[in-house]
Amino acid sequence: MTCKKIFLISVIFFSAFSVTAQNDLSDYNYITIPNQFEFLKGKDQYQLNSLTTFLFDKHGFNAYLADDLPLYLQSNPCKGLKVDVQANESFLSTLVTIYIKDCRGNILFTSPQGRSKEKEYKRAYYAALREAFEPIKSKNVTQKEYIKTEKDKEYIDEKPVVVESIEEETTTVIPVKEVVVEEIINEEETEIIEDTSSVNWLYNYDNYNISGADNVFTLWYKNDVIGTIKPTSINNVYLVSSTQFNGTGFKSEDGFVIEKNVEGISELVTMKFQKVEK
């Protein structure tokens, strides 16, 4: 066999493997993100594990942080995938690579290195992670929910929540996930309230206001309700879902901070809300 033939066979085999791996990602029912990556010093440091879960869940995966994985899925590990994120620093750059593995540890996908020149760690990791995630977005993965067997029904079921998309005006049912649930909007809150004199504003940023109590907040733009701010399983981390943008929220000493995604801008945009004086 000539070298040319060997080369052609190798190319065909590699191409077939790549296509199979791409399709396999949709064949699995869920994907798990660890609570702490090895290169970090603490659980969900910089909220990087939560961000990773958010990105996978947003782009077709049924994503869970390890602590939030239901018991019936834990008993079916080979129905799911696992994520490993590795990072290192080169000269003036932070590099991040995403690996997707099956239950046996076989690597099904390796991302190109995401790169960031940001000096602050959190911003650097966020930017590099998002860049590394871009090829995963292009795969258009759609994982189907795992169908329970009779044995699985022995476990306590999570109550489903209704997820309503304001833009698409469609309703779907998904299992409860404490960290990543997009666009959960209360129907009563979406009504336009003309008289806001009785609303207790807690925080303000330009034409945006935040009201609420008991750690669950409502996001307003001028006099209109546009979304909700709900606590996640991570202390002092909130999921922001609105008709204008989605993001992550954090309480600060003198207010509330929202980091949101804006199309066309690679980095997160920060909104710093100030406490409203009583």
pTM: 0.52
105 and 219 share a domain?
Answer: no
126 and 201 share a domain?
Answer: no
* Residue 263 pLDDT: 65
- 85, with CB counted inside 10 A (0-12, 13-18, 19+), is buried
Name the domain boundary from 107, 137, 167.
Answer: 137
* Residue 174 pLDDT: 43
- Domain contains 3: no
* Residue 2 pLDDT: 59
96 and 126 share a domain?
Answer: yes
Rounded to whole angstroms, how far apart are CA atoms 130 and 161? 28
Residues of the chain with pLDDT below 70 are 1-23, 153-198, 263-266, 278
Q: How far is CA 219 from CA 4, 23, 125, 171, 225, in A?
A: 63, 39, 28, 21, 6
* Residue 264 pLDDT: 61
- Domain contains 1: no
Q: How far is CA 35 from CA 26, 84, 265, in A?
A: 23, 11, 28
Closest Cα partner for 46 from 32, 60, 36? Answer: 36
CB 206 within 8 A of CB 221: no
* Residue 92 pLDDT: 85
174 and 130 share a domain?
Answer: no
Q: Is 82 helix (H, G, I), strand (E, B) or coil?
A: strand
- Domain contains 8: no
Q: How far is CA 212 from CA 33, 180, 220, 221, 266, in A?
A: 31, 21, 11, 14, 31
Give the count of domains, the chain. Answer: 2
Print the domain residue range for 125: 13-137
Residue 255 sits at the vertex; the CA angle it makes with 267 and 44, to the nearest 5 degrees, is 55
125 and 169 share a domain?
Answer: no
